[in-house]
Every structure is written in structure tokens, then in C-alpha cells.
Amino acid sequence: MTVDEARAHYLRFLESHQWLANALTWTVVHPWAEAPPPVDLIASRLTGGGSAEIVELRIRETDLYPMEVVFAGASGPSMMLLEANGAYTSGPEVIRRLSENARVWSLSWHVNGGERLTYAAGGEILAEVPGLYPTLLTGSRPEAVADAIGPLLDTVVSRRYPVTNQAEAWAHKTAAMAVMESSTGARMNAEWADDMRQAILIDPPLSAPFEGLGFGHAEPDLDARLRHAPEFARRAVLLLLTRHLTGRFGLDDPSIAAALDAVAGGGPLGEELRWDLLETQLRLHDGWMPVIPEADAPDRAERLRAAAMVAVRLALLDAAERAENFQALTCARSVLAGEWPCLRSAVEELLPGET
């Protein structure tokens, strides 16, 4: 397909999907291997070592604010990620993590502008095109994309900048989308955007600056002991955390009690219970970013309770599977702060070996 044909395709796509023409983040992870990376690996990199919940949703109908929802699906050898009203995957730290053992292209814009095209590889951002204007090309190795962004350069030559109307703005956007396709082999089309897709649910950050959810970042020794513990002990730790936080923060919602009973009894955490837990978390959250405030914030108690609910939900989700991820402990550590050593000691008592 020629560049002109690709641009015409994306013009038709934006005309039929104007909700994406207003706000979009399209990220393509192109691995060194021949097969696209699995979705659970992508989820782990998005969260810095966590294990995000993955569900099936329809893109246009989804609004779980303040959670980030990243839709994922393979396109040839690449994994495409799409956000309809967010820019989580365009964040520098996220792009660096996604580009480990891979090449990553990311294109984003929002209703007030914010257009940006980014290229990264091997855990490093190599080039960025702010405003989709090639003469602003920056990065540690801008020459790496000099040929690839030709369609954008042609657009600027043929049209004035900065753009002053929708036609000019769309010309830049469709040219950038053509660059994405020609550079990765991935194609965004109506079928991909309109179908049900796997959705990676990213919880709002509990603290600033953002820390990866992988427990090994915070407590490497305890994380190693947990990973070497038998499954029943790992699950017992997550259930202990759940009971501790629900009691400490008065989380007495029926959905939590039902989920705790199900997991403790060895049963699955069905779809209805999963959604009940998510709805409880969203109900407690009031759009706080980050969730945990400064020590003197007047709403600190409510915000800590909401943050505790994040840890409880993650603990129950992981305990219902094979109890192999301890992101809930990372969250609990942030929520409890000075009270964390008490829970940590209780966790150690459940593990085999020296305490």
C-alpha cells in the first residue's frame, strides 16, 4: 500500500470514528521476536511489574475513570494498544518499559491538541515529533526515524503550520498514522476499533512519583521468599492482607465479603464478583490523582480508604488465580506507611523458613 493509500484509509477511518479523531493514543509494540508479545506481558510492563486485570470490553462504550483502560490486540507480529480517551501508554516511563526487547511507536493527541509521535527501542526513547511537526524532531537518535517520518514532512511542505482548521489537523494526523503503519506493519481499522477487545485495567497511581507495582522493587528479599513459597502460603498471605485492610479501614462492602469467602473457600472469583469489586473501588474513588495525599490533607482518611480498596481488590484477584503476583503488598505498603512493619511481620510468619 502506498503512503497516499494509507493516508486515504486513515482519513476514512477518522471520518467514521470521530470520537477517536478527538482523542486517541495508539501504541504499537513490535518485538524482536516474530510473534507479538502476550497480553499479560504487556500488562506487566504497563504497571511496572504488576498483574493488571484483563477483561473483554467494547472500546467506545467504556468509561471507567479514574482507571486507565488500554485495549490490546495483535496485528501481524506486533501488539497494538489503543486508548480512546487517555494517554497512559504515551508516558515516557511506560514507553521505555514497553520497548524492552522491542521497538515501540506511539501516536497520541487529545481534544486540546497534544499531538506527539514517539519512537523507542531497547528501553530508550530515541526520537519524538512534538506537534507532529518534523522540524521539531528531537531525541537521542533522531536520525533513526528520519526516513520513516517522510509522510509527515511531505504534509508540512504542502500545508501551513501551525494548523488552523480541521482539514489541516487531520492531514497531519492521517500522515502520522500512515507512518505508524509503514514502520510497524500494524493497521488500525474499523473492525479492530469496533469489536470487543481485551482491555487492560490500570489502577490510578496511589502515590507520586509513580512506583512500579512489582513488589520486588520495594521489598526484594521478601518478594523472593514469597516466590519460593508454596501456593497455599502465597494465597494465605494475600488473604491475610485482605482481612487486615478491610478491618483497618472499615471496608465492609458485601462484595468484598462475598469475594473473600469465595477465594478462601477455594472457589473461583466469577465475573459478577469481579465487577462488583471494581464498582466498589470506583464508588470509593473520587478522581484523586494520586490517591494517597499529603499527611495534612483534610480528606486523607477517605483517600486512604480508597487506596486500601485498590490493594484489597488486587489481592483478591491474584489470590483467586495462582497467587503469583504481590502487587497488592506494594499497595498495602504505601497505604499503611508506618503501620506496614506490623503487617510485614505477620506475612513472614506465614512463610516457611527463617523469619
Q: Running DSSP on this structure, what letter comes out for residue 50?
A: -
The answer to whether the beta carbons of residues 292 and 73 sit under 8 Å apart is no
| pLDDT tens, the chain, 355 aa long | 788 899 999 999 999 999 999 999 999 999 988 889 999 999 999 999 999 999 999 998 778 988 999 999 999 889 999 999 899 999 999 999 999 999 999 999 998 888 999 999 999 999 999 999 888 999 999 999 989 998 888 876 555 555 556 777 788 899 999 999 999 999 999 999 999 999 999 999 998 878 889 999 999 999 999 999 999 999 999 999 999 999 999 999 999 999 999 999 999 999 999 999 999 999 999 889 889 999 999 999 999 999 999 999 999 999 999 999 999 999 999 999 999 999 999 999 999 985 4
Q: What is the pLDDT of residue 182?
A: 93
Please name the residue that has the C-alpha cell 484483563: 54
Cα 44 to Cα 336: distance, rounded to the nearest angstrom: 24
Whole-Å CA distances, 349 to 85, 190, 236, 237, 248: 44, 54, 11, 9, 20
62-93: burial string, b at 16+ Cβ within 10 Å, e else: bebebbbbbbbbebebbbbbbbbbbbbbbbee
User: 219-228, long-range: CB within 8 Å, 24+ apart, which pairs?
Assistant: 219/329, 219/333, 219/344, 222/329, 222/344, 222/347, 222/348, 223/326, 225/348, 225/351, 225/353, 226/326, 226/351, 227/324
For residue 332, CA distances in Å to 11, 204, 240, 295, 335 come to 47, 14, 11, 17, 5
- Kindly report the pTM of this predicted structure: 0.92
Distance CA 134, CA 75 (A): 27
Q: Is the peptide bond before 37 cis (omega within 30 degrees of 0)?
A: no
Helix (H) or strand (E) holding 157, with range, is helix 150-158
Q: How far apart are CA 28 and CA 187, in angstroms?
A: 10
pLDDT of residue 255: 96
Inter-residue contact 329 to 219 (CB < 8 Å): yes
The closest of 331, 311, 315, 333 to 323, measured between CA atoms, is: 315
Q: CB–CB of 241/223 below 8 Å? A: no
- Residue 245: C-alpha distances to residues 256, 312, 313 (Å): 11, 7, 11
Q: Are the C-beta atoms of 231 and 266 separated by less than 8 Å?
A: no
Residue closest to 118 by CA, chosen among 301, 230, 98: 98
